[in-house]
Amino acid sequence: MIRYKCNKCGAAMESPDSMIGKMETCPACNRRMKVLDPVVVKERDRLRQMQSTTFVCAVSGVSKDGRQEIVANCEEGEPIFLQREPDNRYDRNAIAVYVERKSFFGRRKYLQVGYIPEEDAEEIAEAMDSGSLAGGAILYVVGGQEGKYYGLRIVVAIGDTEGELTIDVDGFRVKDVRRAESDELSGEANG
Q: Which residues bind Zn ion (CB under 5 A)?
A: 6, 8-9, 11, 26, 28-29, 31
CA distances from 184 to 6, 23, 83 (A): 46, 54, 11
Least distance (Å) from Zn ion to the CB of residue 28?
A: 4
State which residue, 24 or 123, has the beta carbon closest to Zn ion: 24
CB of 33 to Zn ion, least distance (A): 8
Q: How far is the CB of 11 from Zn ion (least distance, A)?
A: 5
Q: If you ran DSSP here, which 8-state letter would residue 22 be given?
A: S
DSSP for residue 118: H
Cα(65)–Cα(147) distance, integer angstroms = 16
26 versus 169: smaller Cβ distance to Zn ion: 26
Q: Tell me the β-bridge partners of 138.
A: 154
**Backbone phi, psi, residue 2, to 5°:** -110, 125
Shorter beta-carbon distance to Zn ion: residue 5 or 92: 5
Q: In whole angstroms, how close is the CB of 17 to Zn ion at the nearest point? A: 21
Of 2 and 141, nearer to Zn ion (C-beta) is 2
Cα within 13 Å of Cα(6), Cβ side: 15
Compare residues 25 and 49 and give the one whose CB is closer to Zn ion: 25
Closest approach of Cβ 45 to Zn ion, in Å?
Answer: 20
Report the C-alpha gap between 112 and 97 in whole angstroms: 6
User: Could you tell me which of 55, 96, 99 has the C-alpha nearest to residue 77?
Assistant: 99
